Each structure stands twice: as C-alpha cells, then as structure tokens.
Amino acid sequence: MLCTPTLDFPTTLSVHQGSHKSVIASSNFNNGTFEYASNNTSIATINEEGTVTGVAQGNTTITATILGMETEFYIIETVSQDCALTVLEPATFDNLTKDLIGVTSTNKYVSWSDIGGTVSDAVYAGTTCAGNNSIQLRYSKVKDGSLEEPSGIITTVSGGAAQKVVVEWNSNTKDGRTIEIYGKNTPYESVRDMYFITGDTIDKRGTLLGSIVKGTSTEVDISGNYSYIGIVVKKDDGACYLNEIHITWE
C-alpha cells in the first residue's frame, strides 16, 4: 500500500541577519526522518535540527523533506515542502529564543543564567520550559507558603534604558493569557523577585510597565527610565508559549 505522509512546515518566514530561528517540521508519520536544506547558503543556512541562521539580507528558499521508506506492508512516499525565506537587516533588539536560552525540557521548568543579549550588553536569567518548541512561562503556584518552581525572565545586568518589549506568540497559547512587564533601577537577583505573595514584606517586582495579552497585543512601549526589566505571567494565568521575545534598549 502506498502512503503519502503529511508535512507541516511554514510556507513563509523571516529572520534577521545574524539571528537564529527554529522551524522544526512535523508529520503524521511518526517514524519519519527529516532533512532540511537551503538553496542559497550565502543568504541563510538551516541545520539538521531545523535552526535557520540569517547570513545576509535577501531572499531564498528553505526546504523540509520527510524521507520515505518501505516496509513489508507499506511504501511511504518522500514528501518535501518549500518555505520562502526573507533575511532582514540586522536586529536592533535583543532576541530571546528557546535556542538561545538552551532549555530543551518540555515537562520540567529549568533555571538558567548569564545569557548575554544578542545586541545589547544586557544579561538575562530565568526559569522556563520548552513546551511547543517555544519559551514556556507560567504563573507559579503557592504550596505550603512557598512557590513551586518560580517561572519568569529577569535582567541581572542592564542593557541601558529599556524602550520596548515585543513578543511573538506561539499559536498554542490560549487567547486572553497575559504576560506582565516590570521595570526598576536595581538588578533583579532571582526569578523569585517577580512574585509578591502572602508573607512577603517587600515587593521586589518593581513598577508594572504594561501587559501583553494573547489575541489582543504583542508589545509594550516603555515610558520612563528603567534599567532592568522582568517578565512574568499574570497571577493565576495558565501557560504562555512565546516563540521570541524582543527587548529594545537605548
């Protein structure tokens, strides 16, 4: 029997020169092997794990292929899908992604630190997961007076004066879920600073600068002079999945 697998891969994509973006393909053929290719590696490359790197401004095509195979009962066809890729000018913002952070666990929140900005001198730390091939955040629950695995992202070294935070929502985030952006002028020490719960005597979150709501908004323009920012899911909200977080400093 001849079978043709489905192949889920974007048809258009953009990435900034010098930046990376993960575009992993998927299929209903669970045992399939994927291969990726770029038809012009002087414009962009894509590695065997599906990470695209913008090399120079311009346009090219990247291709995902699920390799066919033959079994005793089936012949699985080889299927390919092209994606039109545009490489934009170098980014003027720090671009936080799952790949930059380096967390791969999809079912356990992992703490990380000392991640330098892709453009600025800022240094980031946080506790995140990698569900849905994204940066996964949640509002951590309080149990027996303590937080369970506090989740969030903070800056421990300033990148200047924070100007804007923009997120690219992953489609698996439910509409209405919200992340909050805080700012202050002293360094955050840990993700625990992003929570103010019963029993706390000092609110270390700083000033609430704005909120970003899935299905409604993607950015917060920051008014005032704040040298450090923190990102956390709104109290009692569920998981938020972010493909990218762009942070602009001046």
pLDDT on residue 2: 80
Maximum mean pLDDT: which of 20-34, 138-152, 166-180: 166-180
The amino acid occupying position 100 is: L
* pLDDT surpasses 80 at 124: yes
Lowest-pLDDT range of 29-33, 120-124, 130-134, 178-182: 29-33
pLDDT on residue 85: 96
Q: How far is it, in rounded angstroms, from Cα 23 to Cα 52?
A: 7
- Picking from 45, 44, 80, the residue whose alpha carbon sits closest to that of residue 59 is 44
The amino acid occupying position 165 is: V
Mean pLDDT of 30-41: 90
pLDDT on residue 72: 76
Q: How far is it, in rounded angstroms, from Cα 93 to Cα 64?
A: 29
% residues pLDDT > 90 (the chain): 75
Give tens-digit pLDDT for 127-156.
999 999 999 999 988 777 777 788 999 999
pLDDT on residue 231: 98
**8 Å CB contact between 46 and 68:** no
* DSSP symbol at 132: G
First to last CA, the chain: 61
Q: How far is it, in rounded angstroms, from Cα 18 to Cα 94?
A: 12
pTM for this prediction: 0.78
pLDDT on residue 24: 84
